[in-house]
Amino acid sequence: MYQSFVPTLRTLMGPGPSDVNPRILTAMARPTIGHLDPEFIRMMDEIKGMLQYAFQTKNELTLPVSAPGSAGMETCFVNLMEPGDKVIVCQNGVFGGRMSENVRRLGGEAVIVEQTWGRAIDPEQLEAALRQHPDAKIVAFVHAETSTGVQSDAQTLCALAKAHDCLSIVDCVTSLGGTEVALDAWGADAAYSGTQKCLSCAPGLSPISLSQRAVETIKSRKTPVSSWFLDLNLVMGYWGEGQTRSYHHTAPVNALYGLHEALVVLHEEGLASSWSRHARNHNALKAGLEAMGLTFVVPEAERLPQLNLVSVPEGVDEASVRKQLLQQYNLEIGAGLGSLAGRVWRIGLMGFASNPKNVLFCVNALEAVLSQYNAPIHRGVATGAVQAAYKA
Ligand SMILES: *Cc1c(COP(=O)(O)O)cnc(C)c1O
C-alpha cells in the first residue's frame, strides 16, 4: 500500500529552496476558493501591490507567473524578443547561460559578454559590446548569480542599456527580499524573481515586473508571442487592472495564498530591515567560517549575503561532507557548479533561514563533520567568532 508522504524536517541552507516560514505553509493549507471569486480577486490585487513594494516599482504590469523562476525568465524573453533580434547577454554563471539559451531558441542572436565565474559583470565590457553592436535590442543580466554568490551592479548595467537605447532584462530571483532591488531607480525594463529564495515561500511562482517601455514593445510586436501560456497580452486579461477578469488558466490558488503571506511577512519586516538582517547574518557566518580557516571565494565588494561561496579545505571530498551534514544533522548546503564544482560549497542564508540560530548551527555542524574527516581546520573557535560578530 502507498502511504502519505511525510518528509523529514531539514534545515535548508543551500541555493534554494530555502526554509519556508511556517506562517506561509499555514496560509497555503487554507480552503481553496474559485480563482474568479471576488475575495480571491481582492487578494490578487494585494499581491500586485505588495510585489510593487518588493520590486520598488510603480510598474502596472507586475504579477506572479504561475510557474517557477525559469518561467519568469522565459516570459521576459518570449514577450520582448522577436526572431532575428540581437540580445547582449552578460554571463558570469549558470543562469546567464540559460538566458542565452532562451535567446537562441527564440531565433535571436545572442552576443555574450563573458565574465569569470565568481566575479561581477564588468560594466566596461558591456559598454564595449554595446558600442560594437549598435543594433542590439536588449541587454540581459543576472543581478544575483546563485551559482557563484555574486552580485552585479544592476543600476550601472541598466543605465548603460538605456543609454544605448536597449531594453534591460534583470534576473532578480535570488536578490528579491535579500538585497536591494529597485526597478524604478535602476530604470530596469523587465525583471523576474522566484518565491523559494529570499521570499521563503514554497517554490512554483515567478513574480515579474515590466516597465511602460517594455509594455509598448510588446504591444507593437510584428509577430505573435510564440508561447500561448506565457503571452502577457493574454495573461493580462486575468491579472489586469480595472478590466473584467477572464479565464486564461486556473490560477494556482493555494500557492498564491502562500505568496500573499510571504509578502505580508516582508512588508511587516520592511525591505531595509530585511536587507540588513541578511547582511548581519552573513557577517556572522563569515566570522565563524573564517575563524575555522575556511575562505570566501568572491571578492568582498561583490559578495551576496544570502549565498556564500566557501572554499573546500585541501584534501576534503566536498560531496561526502554534504552527505554527512544531511544524514547526521538534516542540514542541506549546496555544491559548486561548473568550473567551481568540487572546490566550493554554496551556503544559503535566505529569507526566513537567514537567522542567528542557523548560522551557529551550520558553523558547528560543518566543524563537527570536518573534524571527523581530519580536515585542516582550527577547532573550537568558530562559535566565539560568531558570537563576537553579532555583538560588534
Ligand atoms: C533559482 C534561480 C533561477 C530559476 O528559478 P527556478 O524557480 O528554479 O526555475 C533563475 N535564476 C536564478 C539567479 C536563480 O537563483
> In the prediction, which pLDDT does 242 show?
60
Q: Which three cell numbers stand for residue 275?
A: 536587507
Question: Are 62 and 208 within 8 A, CB to CB?
Answer: yes
> In the prediction, which pLDDT does 241 show?
67
Atom of ligand 1 nearest to the CA of 145: 13
The sheet that has 86-91: what strands, in order across it?
A: 61-65, 206-210, 190-192, 167-171, 138-142, 86-91, 109-114
> In the prediction, which pLDDT does 160 show?
98
Pairing state between β 331-335 and 344-348: antiparallel
The strand ranges marked E within the chain are 11-13, 61-65, 86-91, 109-114, 138-142, 144-145, 150-151, 167-171, 190-192, 206-210, 307-311, 331-335, 344-348
Name residues of the chain where pLDDT drops below 50: none
Measured in Å, residue 101 CA sits from the centre of ligand 1 at: 14
In CATH terms, the fold of domain 21-268 is: Aspartate Aminotransferase; domain 2 (3.40.640)
Degrees (nearest 5) of the Cα angle 346, 27, 5? Answer: 65
Pairing state between β 190-192 and 167-171: parallel
User: Tens digit of pLDDT for each residue in 171-185?
Assistant: 999 999 999 999 999
Is residue 203 in contact with ligand 1, taking CB distance under 6 Å? Answer: yes
* Mutation choice for ligand 1 from 147, 174, 175, 307, CB with most ligand atoms inside 8 A: 174
* Mutation choice for ligand 1 from 66, 95, 199, 306, CB with most ligand atoms inside 8 A: 95
Measured in Å, residue 151 CA sits from the centre of ligand 1 at: 14
Is residue 375 in contact with ligand 1, taking CB distance under 6 Å? Answer: no
Is residue 265 in contact with ligand 1, taking CB distance under 6 Å? Answer: no
Report the distance separating Cα 15 and Cα 247, nearest Å: 35
User: Tens digit of pLDDT for each residue in 11-28?
Assistant: 999 999 999 999 999 999
Q: Any idea where the domains of the chain sit in the sequence?
A: 21-268, 271-391
Print burial letters for 16-32: b (CB count within 10 Å at least 16), e (below 16).
bbbbbbeebeebbeeee
Report the distance separating Cα 59 and Cα 209, nearest Å: 6
Query: What is the model's pTM?
Result: 0.97
Question: Are 28 and 202 within 8 A, CB to CB?
Answer: yes
Measured in Å, residue 238 CA sits from the centre of ligand 1 at: 25
Report the distance separating Cα 263 and Cα 269, nearest Å: 10
CATH architecture, range 271-391: Alpha-Beta Complex (3.90)
Is residue 318 in contact with ligand 1, taking CB distance under 6 Å? Answer: no
User: Tens digit of pLDDT for each residue in 345-390?
Assistant: 999 999 999 999 999 999 999 999 999 999 999 999 999 999 999 9
Atom of ligand 1 nearest to the CA of 142: 13
* Mutation choice for ligand 1 from 142, 146, 147, CB with most ligand atoms inside 8 A: 146
Atom of ligand 1 nearest to the CA of 195: 7
Atom of ligand 1 nearest to the CA of 15: 15
Q: Whose CA is nearest to atom 2 of ligand 1?
A: 173
Atom of ligand 1 nearest to the CA of 70: 9
> In the prediction, which pLDDT does 243 show?
56
Which residue type sits at 69?
G
> In the prediction, which pLDDT does 206 show?
98
